[in-house]
C-alpha cells in the first residue's frame, strides 16, 4: 500500500489538508488536478484512487484508468459516474450519504418558510421605500398547508420531522420505500393534487430526470410552491419559469439547477422565485465530515477492508 497515489479530480472545498494529512500518514501522496478534462484524466490515469465531487466520469474515462481501485465521492449523489462501467472494471464507487443531512434539511425548511412567508418580497418592498402587506400577495397560515415530499430518504425525513408540527399534513411519495412512518404515503398523482408545497428529495436517475416538467406542474394545485434542494435536472427549469410567469405556480425556491451556475438572464424578473447557489450542503462541519469520510473510504479500499458507503 505504501507509495499509493490519490488524485482529487475537482477541488471545490477551500483546501484538502484533511485529506492530505490522512493519506500521507498512511504512506501515500495526494495530488489535486487542474486544467481541462484532458489534464485531469491524464493525472488520474495511473492513480490508485480518485476523490471526486462533480467531475463527470464516463465509461471511456474509466477505461483510461490503469490502476484505480476506488472512486470516492465527497457528496451523496453518484449520477456523474458511470456505475455500470465502474462495476465492470472492478472499481468501487462510494459516497458520503450522511454528511450534510442537517444542512440540506434545514436549508430546505428555510427556503420553504421564506417563500411561504414572502420574506424576499417583503425585503425588496422595504428597500424600495414601500411598507405594509399590500404588495406581498396572499399569505396563508402554514398550519393550513399540506407539504408533499418527493422521496423519503434521510434528508426528507428530517424535513418532515421539522415541519410536521407546523403544517396541516406531510405527504410522501417514494416508490422504493414500503412506508412513510408517521407521514402518509401516496401515489404521485395524489401528492401533486393535494400538496400546497412540493419539495424534491429524490436522487437523479433516468426516471426522475425532468420529472417536474410542464405536465407535472399542470397536475399540481393552483398556486403551488415548488422547492428543490436535491438535483437540478429533476426540474425542467424553463417549464417552471414559464409557470411562475403565468401564475400557474405560486412560488419556487431552488438551490440546484441543470446548468450551474444558471444563466442569470433567464432568472431575471421572474416573479416569486428564490434561488441560492447550490449551498444547501454547506457548513464547516459538513465539509470536514465529508473530507474525512471520503478519504476513509479510499484508505479502506486500498487496505482491502470493508467499505461503509459502497454504492457499487
Domain spans of the chain, in order of start: 5-99+284-303, 101-275
Which among 200, 204, 182 is positioned nearest to 191, based on CA atoms?
A: 200
d(CA 88, CA 194): 44
Residues of the chain with pLDDT under 70: 1, 179-180
* Backbone φ, ψ for residue 175 (5° rounding): -70, -10
d(CA 253, CA 212): 14
CATH code assigned to 5-99+284-303: 3.40.50.720
Residues designated catalytic: 231, 260, 278
d(CA 51, CA 49): 7
**Per-residue pLDDT reduced to its tens digit, 144-154:** 999 999 999 99
CATH code assigned to 101-275: 3.40.50.720
d(CA 24, CA 293): 16
pLDDT at residue 1, as a whole number? 67
DSSP string, the chain: -TT-EEEES---SS--HHHHHHHHHTT-EEEE--SSHHHHHHHHTT-SEEEESS--B-HHHHHT-SS--EEEESSS--TTB-HHHHHHTT-EEE--TTSSHHHHHHHHHHHHHHHHTTHHHHHHHHHTT--SSTTS-----GGG-EEEEE--SHHHHHHHHHHTTTSSEEEEE-TT-S--TTSEE--HHHHHHH-SEEEE-PPP-TTTTT-BSHHHHHHSPTTEEEEE-S-GGGB-HHHHHHHHHHTSEEEEEES--SSSSPPHHHHTT-TTEEE--S-TT--HHHHHHHHHHHHHHHHHHHHTPPPTTB--
**Per-residue pLDDT reduced to its tens digit, 22-44:** 999 999 999 999 999 999 999 99
Please check whether residue 170 is in contact with residue 160, taking contact to mean a CB–CB distance below 8 angstroms: yes
**Per-residue pLDDT reduced to its tens digit, 72-99:** 999 999 999 999 999 999 999 999 999 9
Return the residue matching grid coordinates 459516474. 81
Q: In what order do the strands lie in the sheet with 273-275?
A: 184-185, 169-173, 146-150, 197-200, 224-228, 249-254, 273-275
Cell of 301: 479500499
d(CA 128, CA 159): 34
Domains 5-99+284-303 and 101-275 fall in the same CATH topology: yes
Amino acid at each position: 500500500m505504501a507509495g499509493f497515489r490519490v488524485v482529487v479530480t475537482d477541488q471545490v472545498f477551500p483546501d484538502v489538508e484533511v485529506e492530505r494529512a490522512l493519506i500521507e500518514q498512511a504512506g501515500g501522496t495526494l495530488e489535486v488536478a487542474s486544467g481541462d478534462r484532458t489534464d485531469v484524466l491524464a493525472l488520474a490515469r495511473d492513480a490508485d484512487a480518485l476523490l471526486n465531487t462533480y467531475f463527470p466520469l464516463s465509461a471511456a474515462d474509466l477505461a483510461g484508468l490503469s490502476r484505480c481501485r476506488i472512486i470516492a465521492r465527497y457528496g451523496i449523489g453518484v449520477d456523474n459516474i458511470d456505475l455500470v462501467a465502474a462495476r465492470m472494471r472492478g472499481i468501487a464507487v462510494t459516497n458520503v450519504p450522511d454528511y450534510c443531512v442537517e444542512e440540506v434539511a434545514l436549508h430546505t425548511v428555510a427556503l420553504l418558510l421564506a417563500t411561504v412567508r414572502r420574506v424576499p418580497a417583503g425585503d425588496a418592498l422595504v428597500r424600495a421605500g414601500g411598507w405594509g402587506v399590500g404588495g406581498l400577495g396572499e399569505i396563508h397560515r402554514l398550519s393550513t398547508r399540506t407539504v408533499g415530499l418527493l422521496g423519503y430518504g434521510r434528508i426528507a425525513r428530517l424535513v418532515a420531522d421539522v415541519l410536521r408540527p407546523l403544517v396541516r399534513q406531510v405527504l410522501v411519495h417514494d416508490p422504493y420505500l414500503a412506508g412513510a412512518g408517521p407521514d402518509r404515503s401516496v401515489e404521485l398523482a395524489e401528492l401533486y393534487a393535494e400538496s400546497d408545497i412540493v419539495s424534491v428529495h429524490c436522487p437523479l436517475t433516468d426516471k426522475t430526470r425532468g420529472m417536474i416538467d410542464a405536465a407535472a406542474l399542470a397536475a399540481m394545485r393552483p398556486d403551488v410552491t415548488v422547492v428543490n434542494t436535491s438535483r437540478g435536472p429533476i426540474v425542467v427549469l424553463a417549464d417552471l419559469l414559464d409557470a411562475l410567469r403565468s401564475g400557474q405556480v405560486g412560488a419556487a425556491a431552488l438551490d440546484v439547477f441543470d446548468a450551474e451556475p444558471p444563466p442569470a438572464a433567464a432568472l431575471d424578473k421572474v416573479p416569486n422565485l428564490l434561488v441560492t447557489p447550490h449551498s444547501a450542503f454547506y457548513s464547516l462541519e459538513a465539509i470536514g465530515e465529508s473530507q474525512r469520510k471520503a478519504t476513509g473510504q479510499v484508505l479502506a479500499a486500498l487496505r482491502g477492508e470493508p467499505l461503509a458507503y459502497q454504492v457499487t
